[in-house]
Amino acid sequence: MKTAAGVFLGGAASRLLPASIPFRFFGAAVAFHLLAWLALLAGANQFPRFSGGLGWPLAALHLVTLGVLVMTAIGASLQLLPVATRQPVRSTRWPAAESQPPSRFAPAPGGRRSPWGGPAAIWWLYTPGVAFVAFGMGSGLLLLLGVGAVAVALALLAYAVLLANNLRGARGMPGVVAHGWAALASLLVVLVTALSLACAYLGAPLLSRTTALALHIAFAAYGFMGLLALGLSTILVPMFALSAAPDERHVLASCALAVTALALAAVAAFGVAPQPLRVIAIAFGSVAVALHLRLMREALRTGMRRELGRSFTLVRIGWASLVVSLAGALAVALDAPLAGLPTLFGLTLIGGWLLTFLLGILQRILPFLASMHAGRGSKRPPVPSSLSADRPLAIQFFCHLAALAGLALAVVADSPPIAALAAGVGALGAAAFAGFFLILLRRMRARAPTPHPCVTPAA
């Protein structure tokens, strides 16, 4: 049996970006994760019945979506997609025209060394942009929010160009590539609707608020982030489980069903038979998820590695939350008379599924990438577990789940004090995860080969 790990890792070392590129995105995501819980703590009084509008709950939401989820998606896709699609990494300035760097520190021969192009420029533009957006939302400073929104939009457009160039040159793994193209199209919808919602604060919306908000939620969570998560799962889950790669026909079928669901939701957002089309869209999405989860279950069942620890407990909880979020979406579509339903839906969708799933995957992918970078140029790279730290992850595991449960209870009981306590516990877990990340960086650098003295480090 040819495992997904064998397919994915074949020649992977030659397609690695310099470690500073993906890890700067992951590091920013770790920092924003902690800030998101602190922002939620500041807005705990509003959280249980939050239904939109400026304030710290909205800031916390975007610190998670833009600061953690999208930040990680950028770093992971820039690194993992070239490996998965078997194409060389281009220049670290603009990964679209040059050959792979000869070391983890140097750009390609003839490549530019400026830190202001490509992924590095995206990071420098996107990171402060997210901070400005979040602080502008929390404090109500519309000018700061506008500046941040422009920076975020420009950075995401640049990322979209990089992603398109990568997908256009892809070889192999058509299921992953299809999910990537669908995620890219969703990102463009997200940018247009975000612009419309931002302009609404200035009294000049491009779309009605109801339409823009419906499109924004569906295409941001289920579209861009959801499709990227599902697509990359088809290589990461079998790789960590040491199982065969899933059947590409089934992967493509799941993607097609998900895209159909998004298209139906988009038509409904413009007021065309909104309730029936939303119900049908949820049905298509549910079949897509069921097919995807069947592929993932088969990968875990047949894999040679059965004990995947707490990280995959989080992944499984994330999958369960994805299913529950679809039930929540149906309840919202049918206007179920449940107090706090929109908040519970958002909590399940963003916190329960995307954030929980991402934290589980990061606990695996960060030591894996660190091992590959630390072992470049050596015959025996360090084992990923030797670069990790278990105690911070154990703290983060229990704090994260307790915080999500506490927030759900706060919504049901309409209790700001419970929300504040849950946010504090979540912040403790995020701090523990930051400790895990810092330990990983220190150990990776200690094991990394010493660069040649004539090589100038890349930004």
Render 33-74 in DSSP notation, one character per residue.
HHHHHHHHHHTTTTGGG--SSSSHHHHHHHIIIIIIIIHHHH
Instruction: Please indicate, yes or no, if residue 453 is contained in any of the structural domains.
Output: no
d(CA 430, CA 427): 5
pLDDT in tens, 287-344: 999 999 999 999 999 988 878 889 999 999 999 999 999 999 999 999 998 888 999 9
The span from the CA of 338 to the CA of 135, in Å, is 31
Residue 166: inside a domain: yes
CA pair distance 268, 52, nearest whole angstrom: 21
SS3 category, 132: helix
pLDDT for residue 139: 92
Torsion of CA 199, 127, 233, 242, to 10 degrees: 180
**What mean pLDDT, rounded, does the chain reach?**
85
Please name which of 60, 57, 2, 74 lies closest in space to residue 32, comparing C-alpha atoms. 60
- Contact call for residues 62 and 137 (beta carbons, < 8 A): yes
pLDDT attached to residue 60 = 96
The answer to whether residue 3 is domain-embedded is: no
DSSP-based three-state secondary structure for 415: coil
Residue 11 lies in a domain: no
> What is the band of 3 on the pLDDT scale with cuts at 50, 70, 90?
low
Cα-based distances in Å from 43 to 57, 151, 399: 5, 25, 19
pLDDT digit string (tens) for 357-415?
999 999 999 998 888 877 666 667 788 888 888 999 999 999 999 999 999 999 999 99
> What pLDDT shows up at residue 394?
96
In this structure, is residue 4 part of a structural domain?
no
Instruction: Let me know if residue 459 belongs to a domain.
Output: no
Q: Report the number of distinct structural domains present in the chain.
A: 1
- 52 in any annotated domain: yes
Provide the whole-model pTM.
0.88
Which residue segment(s) compose the domain that 266 sits in? 19-100+114-447
Q: Find where tokens 């989080």 sit.
A: 314
Residues ≥6 apart with Cβ < 8 Å to 253: 291
What is the C-alpha end-to-end distance of the chain, expressed in Å?
41
Name the phi and psi angles at 185, rounded to 5. Answer: -60, -40
Could you report the per-residue pLDDT of 243-298, keeping only the tens digit for each? 988 999 999 999 999 999 999 999 999 999 999 999 999 999 999 999 999 999 99
Give yes or no for a contact between 158 and 121, defined as CB atoms under 8 angstroms apart: yes
Residue 322 inside a domain? The answer is yes
Q: Identify the CATH number of the domain in which residue 325 sits.
A: 1.20.210.10
Q: What is the 3-state secondary structure (H, E, C) of 212-270?
A: HHHHHHHHHHHHHHHHHHHHHHHHHHHHHHCCECCCHHHHHHHHHHHHHHHHHHHHHHC
Residues 6 or more apart whose Cβ sits within 8 Å of residue 352: 317, 318, 321, 324, 325, 404
Answer for the pair 172, 234: CB distance below 8 angstroms, yes or no.
Answer: no
